[in-house]
Every structure is written in structure tokens, then in C-alpha cells.
Amino acid sequence: MATTGWWRGAVIYQVYPRSFRDTDGDGVGDLPGIIDKLEHIASLGVDGIWISPFFRSPMADFGYDISDYRDVDPLFGTLSDFDRLLAKAHSLGLKVMIDQVISHCSIEHEWFRESRQSRDNPKADWFVWADPKEDGTPPNNWMSIFGGVAWRWEPRREQYYLHNFLSTQADLNFHNPAVQAVTLDNIRFWLDKGVDGLRLDAINFCFHDRQLRDNPAKPKDKRVGRGFSPDNPYAYQYHYHNNTQPENVEFLEDLRNLLDRYDDVAALGEISSEDSLATTAEYVGESRLHMGYSFELLTDDFSVAYLRHTAERLETVMSDGWPCWAISNHDVVRAVSRWGNGDASPELAAQLVALVCSLRGSVCLYQGEELGLPEADVPYEALQDPYGKVFWPNFKGRDGCRTPMPWNDTGDAGFSSGTPWLPIPDAHRQQSVAVQEADPGSVLNRVRTFLHWRRTQPALCEGRTRFLDSDEPVLAFLRELEGEAMLVAFNLSPQPAEWTLPQGLQVVAENGHGLLSGEVVDGRLRLPGRGAYYARVA
């Protein structure tokens, strides 16, 4: 079977269905809405889309709590709508990846409904059940990412069940071969439909420590959260036992064997562990996942030192794997707000897209990044995210990055004829697709120009990376492939900066490709604030 590897160096556009486009007026986006706007996505110069969950669900965690893995929730449409979406995307040259949330499911799933009834039914061992301690307390000290202990009492069994996320998201017991088998069979269902890839949510959470050992305490100075609130007690532990177990690797190899039976499909794993880069390197490779991404670039640290250290370390530990990078998604503060320190300028927005798309690997861009949307300020009374409601006011949850996509500057922003499920900020209407289409210098048009140019540059898509010595705020590196090299440099500051080129490095054909560009004068690169520089090296 020939495998072309469409995913290597690909730019994948993440669609959060609830907030993309609503066609039936209920205020929630749907699959027909995605179909309606596929031309916009294709015009960007991306290679594919990743669609966040659209399966049947009670929506306690907005689709990441699945109650039927093989059907579309009526909120989003029908299986026929998905077939139409797939066909149209393919006609536009777009690959389609779908989310697979396999480590846990909704307590409304028929599997859990049966499992919770007794200790001896056919599904009794499909979830992680444990007896209480002698005093009735949970079996160990594991914590939930969404706050509080990770165990919920079930009176019918007189046992606790494990939930690493919401209490309505019960963890499946992957130590049971039947659970692994049905999971692979559900994935086969979507592969047979023709999807081009899978984004595997929380893939390192499939297995737990059989002995249910306590997680050790983490010193206060080490409680730095990635993707969760820093005041969350989840950060008080080293999570050595509730995820990232050795058995996970064997399951990933079984999954890869399934994927290899299909022509040119790919699996992208979301990985969050105590050492996510090391886990990514372990999980990605020829016999395991095609790609992996972690939360390392979803933090607040926007410095040359941190970006270089992160990329270089992954290059070092991942000898034969392929990384994927993301700086925004549906779970974190939007990058222009997180890294802009109050400067969510068009120049920064365009630069950030170029930066993440210039690292070695594939890229996930989140809807609205092409517009430079900042984080929305959602008032408490409009909050929908249960995570934010628990940790308010220290942490406002994830609603600020999930507000509806602005298609025009009208009252409903072209998103819905009804009341949107989250409010749309006035500032977002002024940065809408329609407004930016009319402005040649907009973030949207700069991003389009850059992404279309990037597709023509093999060194940027697949070349190896060699970082060059530079001081803050200039990040500089070479992308090299088959004897050709490209110099890439970014000024991470809003003020102008200069950098002395290494001795012997000569550049030709310099260009910013839609970005604020710099120039080399007498061996020194002069970069405007938020500037970028690309040049072939002679």
C-alpha cells in the first residue's frame, strides 16, 4: 500500500463546531455550517481540517463526553450531513481529521449505564471501579483536572468510579481487552467512511496504574500548570499513576496496525504528562502515532529562550518521529492575548501564525487565528464552561477562546439568526472575515499570502532545524533540506531590533511574504517590531 504522507508538514485548521457557523437558528454551530464555510478554509492555503467532537453527547463538556461514538448529535446534524461535509472537503482538496475521545465517555453511554448496575454484568469491568478504603473514602489520592477528587461514588455497586475530567466523564478500563477491541472497531467505522485522520484527545490517559498507587506530592515551586488553572489542586501532584502507563504504548501499536490498513491516514495524539516532550517522543514513530503535540507552546512564556529550548529538546528526544505544533486551541487563552501582553496587534497575529508554521513539524491552527482574534471577556452570567464556573474568579475557564466565529460586522456577526450560545464581542465583529477580506493589509490576507507561499517551500515544510545564537528578542534558525537552507528570524518585541548574522552566512532572495519584513545591512539584520525575515542562504 502506497502512503504519501499528506500530514508531514501539513497545516491543519481546527474547527470547533459549536462556534463556527449555525444554519438552523438555535445559536449553536452545526455540520451544515461547516459545509457552508469550507471555501473560506480552503482559501487560506491549509491542507486539512480537524473537527472537534460532533458525536451524540449530553454536552456536559460540549461534546468531549460522548454517549454514542458512531452517530452525530442532532444538535450538529446527521450522519448524512457528515458524509456531505467529507465529500465537499475532499473536492476542495482538504483532508478531514476528526476527534476521537477514547479514554473516557459520558455516564449516559449505554456501556456505563450497564456497568454501574452491578459488579457481575457483561460491562462490569469496562470502567475503572474500586472499593473504598475502610473509612469509606476514595481508594487513593488521584485528582480530577476539572477540580476535586477523581472518584465518584456509585451506590448500586458500593464502589467508586474514576473520572480524570468531569464526574460525568467516566474513565474506560483499557486493561480490559474488550474495551480496546470496541474502541478500535469504533475508529474503523469512521475510517471506512473515508476520514483522513484522527486527533486523539488525552491519548495518554487510556491506562491507569493497576495497583491504584497514590500520586506523590509536588513541591509548591513546581506547581506550574499547562492547560489548567495554576490554583487547581491537580497541580499539587506528580501524575505518575493516573495516566501515561507502559501499557499505553502497546495499544498505540495496535491502533497503528489498524490505520496502516487504510491509504494515507494519520493519527495525531494530544499528550499532557509530567514530561510531555519525552512522552510525545515515545508515542510517535513508525509503529505508533504519526504525530503528537503537547501543551508546551500553550503556556504564557513567549521568549526566545523558551521557544528555542522547547523546539530543540523535542528535536533531540524525537529521533524518528514527527511533531505537530499549536499555540492556540479550544482549551487555552488565544495566543495574541496570552503572548501579546496587551498588544494584540495585527502584526503580532500574523507573526505568530508564521512562527508556528516555520517550526519543524505539522501545525494546528485554531479557527479565528487567521483573523488575529483576541481572547473574549465573557461575564460570569454568560459562562457556559463548567471548568470556569468551578474556578471563578481566579480562572475564567475556556469560554473566552470559544466565542462564535465572526463572519461579518452585523449584530449576529453572520454566525446565527438566533441567540449565540456565547456572546460575540464587538471587537470581534470589527475583525470579521468580511471586514478583513476588504483590507489587503489585514491579518487574514497576510496569513493567506504566507500560507500559500509556505506550501511552495519544501525546507519549511519538511526540513530539519538548526537554531542560531541570538539574544532576546530575536529568534533565528535555519531550515535545511537536501542541500538547500532558509534563514528564518523573528523579532518577538514590538520595538525594532537588530541581529548580527553569523560569520560566513550569506543571504539571497529575502522577503517577508505578507509579514513585516526586515533587511540585512552590513551583515546585520534589522527587524521592525513584530517583524519576520525569510531568506535563502547561499
**Which sequence positions are flagged as catalytic?**
201, 270
Q: Is the Cβ–Cβ distance between 480 and 492 less than 8 Å?
A: no
Helix (H) or strand (E) holding 304: helix 304-317
Q: How many CB atoms lie within 10 A of CB 263?
A: 10
Here the cell at position 321 is: 518521529
Name the nearest CA neighbour of 324 among 156, 231, 435, 199: 199
List, in sequence order, every residue forming a beta bridge with 534; answer none if it has no partner. Answer: 488, 511
Q: How far apart are CA 381 and CA 315, in angstroms?
A: 45
Q: How far apart are CA 70 and CA 476, in angstroms?
A: 46
Longest CA–CA separation in the chain, Å: 79
Instruction: Report strand pairing: 48-51 vs 95-100.
Output: parallel
**Displacement of CA 408 from its chain's centroid (Å):** 26
Cis peptide before 53 (omega within 30 of 0): no
List, in sequence order, every residue forming a beta bridge with 266; answer none if it has no partner. Answer: 197
Name the nearest CA neighbour of 398 among 378, 424, 372, 370: 378
Q: Is the Cβ–Cβ distance between 336 and 530 less than 8 Å?
A: no
Q: How far apart are CA 192 and CA 264, in angstroms?
A: 13
Name the nearest CA neighbour of 518 among 493, 485, 496, 495: 496
Q: Could you list the beta-strand ranges (E) of 143-221.
A: 151-154, 159-162, 169-171, 197-200
Per-residue HEC secondary structure of 18-29 comes to HHCCCCCCCCCC
Can you tell me which residue has the cell 488575529? Answer: 372
Q: Is the Cβ–Cβ distance between 326 and 302 less than 8 Å?
A: no
Q: How far apart are CA 386 and CA 526, in angstroms?
A: 47
Q: Is the Cβ–Cβ distance between 499 and 532 less than 8 Å?
A: no
Name the nearest CA neighbour of 398 among 105, 165, 89: 165
Question: Which amino acid, 281?
Answer: A
Question: Which amino acid, 4?
Answer: T
Q: How far apart are CA 246 and CA 134, in angstroms?
A: 30
Q: Is the Cβ–Cβ distance between 481 and 493 less than 8 Å?
A: no
